[in-house]
Amino acid sequence: MTVVRRASATDADVLARLLWDFNTEFDTETDDVDVLAARFGRILGLDGIVAVLAEDDGRAVGFALVSLRPAIWFDGPVSQLEELYVVPDRRSHGIGTQVLERCRRLVRELGSPEMHINVDEVDVDTRRFYERHGFVTIEEGTDYRMLCYVGPTR
């Protein structure tokens, strides 16, 4: 049976390992697990961070990380789903849905009426997953492009 619960700083090592697995599975550059664990340990105590952990018989099988930020266009913060991952051998068992729904419930309780997610245009399976859960693209002129620009602060 899968249990999905809110994660805490004591889960930093487990979350770091899952994030590392996620990034390496998709050939994304990533820091070492110990670096990620230190970061998780630092941010999980912040008010604007929500993480959930899915476990099957004590084995970590998925997680999500959500950040909240103030919003001017409505009362309450906007939530940003930063990461959602389910280990390969447990996909298509409803765990991603459980993780997403737990995140939605937690951020709703924190006053967030809206969740944002960035999804790569080419990631058809992920787009289908989020669309099945009521998410829509907001990009004009195309059905599925989501662009995110990043720049230095100096």
pLDDT of residue 134: 87
Distance of CA 33 to the CA centre of its chain: 17
pLDDT of residue 119: 83
Q: Return the residue matching tokens 């997953």.
A: 129
pLDDT of residue 151: 47
- Written as six digits, the tokens of 62 are 């998925």
Domain chopping of the chain, boundaries: 2-117, 120-154
Contact between 145 and 121 under an 8 Å Cβ cutoff? The reply is yes
Highest averaged pLDDT of the listed ranges 21-25, 112-116, 128-132, 134-138: 21-25
Longest pairwise C-alpha distance within the chain: 49
> 2-117: which CATH number, 1.20.1250.20, 3.50.50.60, 3.40.630.30, 3.30.1050.10?
3.40.630.30
pLDDT tens-digit series, residues 28-50: 999 999 999 999 999 999 999 99
Lowest-pLDDT range, 9-18, 53-62, 137-146?
137-146
- DSSP per-residue letters across 43-101: HTTSTTEEEEEEEETTEEEEEEEEEEE--SSSSS-EEEEEEEEE-GGGTTSSHHHHHHH
pLDDT tens-digit series, residues 55-101: 999 999 999 999 999 999 889 999 999 999 999 999 999 999 999 99
Q: Residue 48: name the closest of 32, 30, 71, 31 by CA.
A: 71
Please state whether the predicted TM-score (pTM) of the whole model is above 0.85. yes
User: Is 120's pLDDT higher than 70?
Assistant: yes
Task: Provide the percentage of residues in the chain whose pLDDT is more than 90.
Answer: 69
